[in-house]
């Protein structure tokens, strides 16, 4: 396996936060040492769950100086890109299946002055990136089927992480390789060893309440 570039970034997913006090939760994870804030947007159509929209992202923006890593699990996605960019997203990640022309979607995200990411579901092959890799800033490997937090890591995705790491290294570009789903102190070392350099962790970050966040993040980073 190829070692991942360092440092590894930790991006807590607010899907596992206390939704009654999201602003406080975002401030708490920044204080605890998080690198990014991962925001999962689900539409009840592309994935079987419904979460938040641009208004919530805009409301959270004053609560943190960290990059907002916004993962759009919505279809059709193109109509919402401008709204999430205006709301304060720094990175906008989309799925190839969520629009008819993924290259056009990526180009539009870049035109908004944002970093563009592409997310691969467990059954979506790494080859989907063949004609996109030179245009994107981030690849997000889903190590669970998207839609819900608290799922178990799908180990077959380690091979995909390795394959995408090789693709990224061949470009010579600074493209982040992010993994989301079932990340904890046990699976984090596996994802990092396979080539990941950003870990999305919801349950593993937010368990135990705010007093535990710093230790939770430290354990993930230490992996």
CB 140 within 8 A of CB 9: no
E strands present in 48-126: 68-73, 91-94, 115-120
The candidate with the shortest Cα–Cα distance to 8, out of 189, 187, 204, is 189
Q: What is the pLDDT of residues 11-30, one digit of tens each?
A: 999 999 999 999 999 999 99
The candidate with the shortest Cα–Cα distance to 69, out of 113, 111, 117, is 117
Cα–Cα dist 128/96, whole Å: 8
**Catalytic annotation, pick one of 43, 69, 180, 184:** 180
pLDDT (average), residues 108-136: 98
Q: Is 40 a catalytic residue?
A: yes
The answer to whether 149 is a known ligand-binding residue is yes
Percent of the chain surpassing pLDDT 90: 93
The answer to whether 186 is a known ligand-binding residue is no
For residue 217, what pLDDT is reported? 97
The answer to whether 38 is a known ligand-binding residue is yes
CB 191 within 8 A of CB 2: no
Residues contacting residue 42 through CB under 8 Å, at least 6 positions apart: 49, 50, 51, 73, 74, 146, 147
Percent of the chain surpassing pLDDT 70: 97
Report long-range pairs for 127-130 (Cβ below 8 Å, ≥24 apart): 128/96, 129/164, 129/167
Q: What is the pLDDT of residues 56-83, one digit of tens each?
A: 999 999 999 999 999 999 999 999 999 9
Q: Is 43 a catalytic residue?
A: no
For residue 4, what pLDDT is reported? 41
What is the SS3 assignment for 42? strand
For residue 7, what pLDDT is reported? 86
The candidate with the shortest Cα–Cα distance to 136, out of 164, 160, 157, 161, is 164
Residue 151 has pLDDT above 90, yes or no: no
Cα–Cα dist 166/198, whole Å: 16
CATH of domain 9-222: 3.20.20.70
- Residue 64 CB neighbour total at 10 angstroms: 19
Name which residue leads in pLDDT, 144 or 146.
Answer: 144
pTM here?
0.95
For residue 6, what pLDDT is reported? 57
pLDDT (average), residues 143-163: 92
pLDDT (average), residues 116-140: 97
**Catalytic annotation, pick one of 35, 40, 137, 184:** 40
Average pLDDT, the chain: 95
Phi first, then psi, for residue 216 (nearest 5°) are: -60, -45
Q: What is the pLDDT of residues 31-55, one digit of tens each?
A: 999 999 999 999 999 999 999 999 9
Residue 198 has pLDDT above 60, yes or no: yes
């Amino acid at each position: 396996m190829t070692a991942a570039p360092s440092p590894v970034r930790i991006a807590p997913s607010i899907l596992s936060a206390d939704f009654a006090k999201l602003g406080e939760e975002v401030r708490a994870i920044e204080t605890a040492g998080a690198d990014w804030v991962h925001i999962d947007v689900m539409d009840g159509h592309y994935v079987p769950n419904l979460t938040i929209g641009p208004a919530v992202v805009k409301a959270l923006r004053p609560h943190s100086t960290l990059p907002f890593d916004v993962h759009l699990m919505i279809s059709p996605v193109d109509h919402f890109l401008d709204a999430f960019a205006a709301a304060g997203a720094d990175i906008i990640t989309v799925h190839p299946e969520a629009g008819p022309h993924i290259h056009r979607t990526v180009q539009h995200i870049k035109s908004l002055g944002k970093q563009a990411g592409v997310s691969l579901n467990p059954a979506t092959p790494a080859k989907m990136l063949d004609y996109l890799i030179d245009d994107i800033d981030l690849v997000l490997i889903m190590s669970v089927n998207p839609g819900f937090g608290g799922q178990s890591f799908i180990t077959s995705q380690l091979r995909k992480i390795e394959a995408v790491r090789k693709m990224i290294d061949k470009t010579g570009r600074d493209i982040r390789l992010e993994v989301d789903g079932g990340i904890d102190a046990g699976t984090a070392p596996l994802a990092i060893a396979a080539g990941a350099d950003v870990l999305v962790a919801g349950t593993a970050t937010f368990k135990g309440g705010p007093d535990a966040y710093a230790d939770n993040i430290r354990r993930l980073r230490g992996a």
